[in-house]
Amino acid sequence: MNTNMSDYRQCETTKKFVCLDAQRFIKLNAVSAVVFLLVGGIAAILLALTRWQTVHLLDAEWFYRILTAHGLNMLIFWILFIEMAILYFVSTSLLNSRLFSKGLGWISFALMIVGAVMTNGIIFAGEADVLMTSYLPLVAHPLFYLGIILFAVGALVGVGNFFGTIYIARRDKTYKGSMPLVTFGATAAAIIAVVALLHGAVALVPTFTYSLGLTPEPDPGWYRLIWWGLGHMSQQVNVCAMVAVWYFLATMTTGAKAPNEAVCRSAFVLYVLFINLASAHHLLVDPGVGAEWKIWNTSYAMYLAVLASMIHGFTVPASVEIGMRLKGYTRGLFDWLLKAPWKNPGFSAFFLSLVIFGFIGGITGVTLGTQQINIIAHNTLRIPGHFHATVVGGTTLAFMGLTYYVIPLIFQKDYVGRSWARVQPYLFASGIVLMSIGMSFAGSEGVARRTWDIDAAGIYGATTHMFLGMVGIGGILAFCGVLLFVVLAVATLFFGESNEGRPMKCWGVPEVIADLSKTDGSVATADDNAEHDHDHKHDTRGTMVIVVVFLLAFAVYYFANWGALADVWWVR
Amino acid sequence: MSIEPPPKNWFQAPTGHERVWLGMAIVWCLIMSLMMPLWHFKGKQNSTGESYIVEPQDFLERTEQFVDANKVGTKEGRPVAEPPPGGDAYLVARMYDWYPVLQLREGETYRLHVSSMDIQHGFSLQPMNMNFHVMPGYDHVLTVTPTKSGTYTIVCNEFCGIGHHAMIGKLIVK
């Protein structure tokens, strides 16, 4: 540490140094994130209660308006604000470094807030009923595009500040050797974010100038290709950040130890290298691009990124298994999992997120993104059924779990309503699972996404309506989960007991029943990979069973979809 | 410990279960990669993206010519057109209508041209649940062979404005 110690405080829980400048921006971004989550959540319940055809709450105009707001607030504003908070944290505290620039932090935050408020304002004013994708030739008010552009520039500045911080940490040698795995994963997310945001600029700047009447209309096919360079790649930012958070929460809650960091890190590198053409998934039944282009850009690029996710799907639970076995939970295949801290919301949110992301989101995503299978899935409710399992049941739930540590560690307030907090991840997860499954089945019945009403077609029967009822009920449960999350966070900020000068009130971590590692198992040091605990370090039998079950489920779903495809009309 | 710098010798080959899983995952990814080219040559359902640049007005004119030459009746106020087997069929997508009603024969193959007059639409054939994207300026050619007779509904499944849900068309297979 080469700067004034008064710019830091030492965390009583983790013994890490917290840069106070970074802490301020973590707080600002995290609070903003929760506000936009609430806006997006209120929008979500209105949409769920409208798609539940029996309730059919909103009128058509407001349905599309609220749908536009929901997409942007959830997928862009909530997630990017909290990811900014994550970037500030992992580049400073975990690297023992100070923040690169306070000024850039302010510029980034100001641009993001102005952009997000501007975009919301113009949507609720009814001047941008174009949905999140704003597919040309639909045109919104220029301020809609300007708001998103400002937000994106702000995010880019924030990412620049992150790279600046990494640079000074390396230059000043604030940490030894390689950066921690969590920071490495977040760095991968930041690299992808730069590429994604540049795609956004290429798609949206000419659209903005077109909406002002200054330039000719961009080609709608070109727009789709480039826009999804933003739209899909930013989901890979979320995946990277989520996996980094999984590793973080696994470490904090169970003392997890990665079986092999080279493998984990290589998987992050695969994300960076092979996600860049994923916008192809959205163009699989489009005109303008040929079969060769579609197949190549789906499989070549995608399946190496899928491989990366399948690797994390093993290494993350394996890390928990190894950590738990080193603490003495060695009996049988699953003692380590049964004795995991299921009442700790950090752990339950993380593990539920892992399961929902993998078993529902991952399997459906790869299958729907298969070139030909997309014929029986494109633009049906199967697609939101997939991505609510990845980005909501996966990413959002993981970030909720993170919040149960961010508020005590960074805001230095112990949670109020702790028993409610222990329930919250389960409530939210059950709602999202119900909703995702309802959407997927309704989509298989041919129900379109982004449609206010399905009864006008007069072709959907009772089964379809039952699945839409599942969407509604799941939506209500998930909304209660969001509301509980926000209420607890806000109540804690105002009324939570300060934990300054002492460690945070522990959510509960598994006790060490037989110390099989050199260290105490909670705060390990870098040199704890001695050979004597070799056996427990590589005993991942339980995880192996889980991933084999996963692969079987994957194969069944995948080939069942080929079977369904074979039943439809011939088409070339 | 993923929140600490790793030990110096962290770069090592995977061992044990992890190595086995890595192998399984790579094989599975390869199988999935090969399924698509395999289906492209052997399967009957493919999206080749065959398309041509077209001005919306020209596409509408071609459609009107097609309807005039092949009209066999009317259904719900819209003309019904039956293209010759192996021939071209035209379908216009516009806010909030599919035009005309097509009548096809089971087991025959047609070149179905779909394009939009205004903004983007989604061609979603129900209850078959086959979905293709429709854009203005692109004449999207689907070489289709109906395998089952019946009356089908075409739903628009890309948001196209306030009347999107009511953009319903019909397609008859005899």
- Whether A485 and A424 have beta carbons less than 8 Å apart is answered as yes
The tokens for A197 are 């945001």
Fill in the amino acid letter for B48.
T
Query: Tokens 């640049």 sit at which residue?
Result: B53
User: Which residues from chain B sit within 8 angstroms of residue A71, using beta carbons?
Assistant: none
- ∠ at Cα A45 (A43, A49), nearest 5°? 120
Collapsing DSSP to helix, strand or coil, A12 comes out as coil
Q: Which residue of B has its CA nearest to A308?
A: B25
Q: How far apart are CA A456 and CA A449, in angstroms?
A: 15
Locate A77 and state its tokens: 């504003």
Residue with tokens 């599942």: A470
Strand partners of residue A19: A8
Of the candidates B2, B43, B148, which has its C-beta nearest A180's C-beta?
A: B2
- SS3 for A193-211 is HHHHHHHHHHHHHHHHHHH
Q: Identify the closest residue of chain B to A62 by CA–CA distance.
A: B162
Which amino acid is located at A355 in the chain?
V
By CB atoms closer than 10 A (0-12, 13-18, 19+), residue A2 is exposed
pLDDT in tens, A304-347: 889 999 999 999 999 999 999 999 999 999 999 999 999 999 99
Question: Letter for the amino acid at A331?
Answer: R
| Cβ pair A61, A129 in contact under 8 A | yes
Cα separation, A317 vs B121, in Å, equals 43
- Pairing between strand B110-116 and B88-94? parallel
Q: Which residues of B touch A569 (CB under 8 A)?
A: 45, 125, 128, 130, 144-148
Query: Is-contact B157 B140, C-beta < 8 A?
Result: no
Angle between helices A20-51 and A462-495 (to 10 degrees): 150
Domain spanning B51-173, CATH class: mainly beta
Q: How many A×B Cβ pairs under 8 Å?
A: 311
Q: Give the residue from A267, A257, A252, A198 showing the smallest Cα distance to A230.
A: A198
Cβ neighbours of A330 (radius 10 Å): 16
Burial A267-293 (b: 16+ CB within 10 A, else e): bbebbbebbbbbbbbbbbbbbbbebee
Cβ neighbors of B39 (< 8 A, separation 6 or more) are: A371, A372, A562, B45, B46
How far does chain B reach from its first CA to its final CA, in angstroms? 67
Query: Closest partner residue to A257 among B1, B20, B162, by Cβ?
Result: B1
CB A188 within 8 A of CB A85: no
The single-letter DSSP state of residue A380 is B
pLDDT tens per residue, range A452-463 = 999 999 999 999
For B42-82, the pLDDT digits (tens) are 999 999 999 999 999 999 999 999 999 999 999 989 999 99
Mean pLDDT of all residues belonging to chain B: 95
The two three-digit tokens of residue A420, written as one number: 């409610």
Closest CA to A457 of B169, B52, B77: B169
Q: Which amino acid is at B126?
A: Q
Query: What integer pLDDT is reported at residue B8 of this predicted model?
Result: 84
Q: Choose among A333, A330, A252: nearest CA to A545.
A: A333
Query: Which sign does the torsion angle of CA A271, A277, A279, A284 carry?
Result: negative
Estimate to the nearest angstrom the gap between the alpha carbon of B70 and the chain centroid. Answer: 24
d(CA B137, CA B93): 12
**Which stretches in chain B have pLDDT values below 70?**
1
pLDDT for the residue numbered B24: 96
Bridge partner list, B104 = B173
Pairing of strands B138-145, B51-53: antiparallel
Q: Tokens for A293?
A: 């282009």
In what helix (H) or strand (E) does residue A140 lie, and over which residues does it extend? none
Q: Report pTM.
A: 0.94
User: What are the two backbone dihedrals, phi and then psi, of residue B103, each rounded to the nearest 5 degrees?
Assistant: -125, 120
Residues 6+ apart with CB under 8 A from A192: A233, A236, A237, A240, A271, A272, A275
Q: Where are the domains of chain A?
A: 17-179, 342-506
Task: Say if CB B91 and CB B113 are below 8 A apart.
Answer: yes
Per domain, the residue ranges of chain B are 51-173
A339 and A510 in contact (C-beta within 8 Å)? yes
The residue ranges of DSSP E strands in A229-377, in sequence order, are none
Exposure on the CB side of residue A200, measured as CA atoms within 13 A: 26
In the prediction, which pLDDT does B12 show? Answer: 86
| Per-residue pLDDT at A301 | 65
Of residues A264, A262, A259, the one with CA closest to residue B12: A262
CA distance linking residue A465 with residue A467, whole number of Å: 5
Nearest to B122 among A306, A379, A565 (CB): A379
Predicted ipTM?
Answer: 0.96
Phi-psi region of A176 (alpha: psi -120 to 50; beta: other; left: phi over 0): beta
A111 and A153 in contact (C-beta within 8 Å)?
Answer: yes
Q: Are A489 and A34 in contact (CB under 8 A)?
A: yes
Give the best residue of A266, A286, A539 to mutate against chain B (max B CB count within 10 A): A286
Cβ neighbours for B164, distance < 8 A, ≥ 6 positions apart: A60, A450, A451, A452, B96, B156
How do residues A264-289 score in pLDDT, each as one tens digit? 999 999 999 887 666 788 999 999 89
Taken as a whole, chain A contains a residue count of 572
Phi, psi of B113, rounded to the nearest 5 degrees: -95, 125
Q: What token pair was written down for A39?
A: 């806006």
| CB of A256 closer than 8 Å to CB of A322 | yes
Positions of chain A with pLDDT lower than 70, given as ranges: 1-6, 276-278, 301-302, 518-537
Partners of residue A527 in chain B, C-beta under 8 Å: 7
Which one of B11, B32, B146 has the shortest CB-CB distance to A262? Answer: B11
Residue ranges of the alpha helices (H) in A410-461? 418-444
Q: Is A458 left (phi over 0), alpha (psi -120 to 50) or beta?
A: left
pLDDT of residue B27: 95
In the block, residue with structure tokens 């200054």: A214
Residues of B in Cβ contact (< 8 Å) with A303: 29-30, 32-33
Neighbours of A126 (CB within 10 A): 11
Do the bridges between strand B121-126 and strand B110-116 make them parallel or antiparallel, or are there none, so unpaired?
unpaired
DSSP letter assigned to residue B5: P
> Hey, are the CB atoms on B158 and A181 less than 8 Å from each other?
no
Q: Is the Cβ–Cβ distance between A73 and A39 less than 8 Å?
A: yes
A:78-117 residues touching chain B, CB 8 A cutoff:
94
If you measure CA to CA, which chain B residue comes closest to A263?
B14
Q: Which of A375, A441, A545 to mutate to test the interface with B (most CBs of B within 10 A)?
A: A375
CA distance B83 to A550: 48
Which structure tokens are listed for A374?
């997309």
Point out the residue among A303, A459, A555 whose CB comes nearest to the CB of B126: A459
Contact present, A528 and A444 (Cβ < 8 Å): no
Q: How far apart are CA A264 and CA A268, in angstroms?
A: 7
Beta bridge partners of A158: none
